[in-house]
Amino acid sequence: MSHARIIGGELSEAFILSREEVEQFAIARCRYAELRTLAFDVLVPAIGGPASPLSGQLYDLLQELHCRTSGFLAQHRAAIECERLRRDLDTVEG
């Protein structure tokens, strides 16, 4: 479950995600990559190629989705992986 604090009627920058929620973002990122590949390999040629206004709109929508999710929390996933590696090193050294 997500936990966020409301400060002065605004959502705070800090939030907590469960392991399951982080995993769900990873799955969403994979599905997004599949959708993007399908869209550009199959759909774009079918709607008139990259110069088509629909292709431009599709590209813009996919980019907005990626940006609004912060790359599906890419920065946070990287930080989690670094922490995991640090713990693994501490276990080996300790």
User: Is residue 13 included in any domain, yes or no?
Assistant: no
Rounded to 5°, the CA angle 28-34-35 comes to 85
**Separation between Cα atoms, residue 8 and residue 30, nearest integer Å:** 36
What proportion of the chain, given as a percentage, has pLDDT over 70? 83
Is residue 65 within 8 Å of 35, Cβ to Cβ? Answer: no
Q: Which tokens in the block code for residue 44?
A: 């774009």
User: Is residue 22 included in any domain, yes or no?
Assistant: yes
Residue that has been written with the tokens 């110069």 in this structure: 51
79 vs 58, more confident: 58
User: Is residue 59 included in any domain, yes or no?
Assistant: yes
Residue 74 lies in domain: 18-93
User: Is residue 2 included in any domain, yes or no?
Assistant: no
Query: What confidence tier does 94 reach under pLDDT thresholds 50, 70, 90?
Result: low
Q: Read off the pLDDT of each residue in 48-72 and give the average, rounded to a whole number.
A: 91
User: Is residue 86 included in any domain, yes or no?
Assistant: yes
Q: Read off the pLDDT of each residue in 21-31 and give the average, rounded to a whole number.
A: 88
Query: For the chain, how many structural domains are there in total?
Result: 1
The whole-number pLDDT of residue 22 equals 82
The whole-number pLDDT of residue 82 equals 82
User: Is residue 67 included in any domain, yes or no?
Assistant: yes
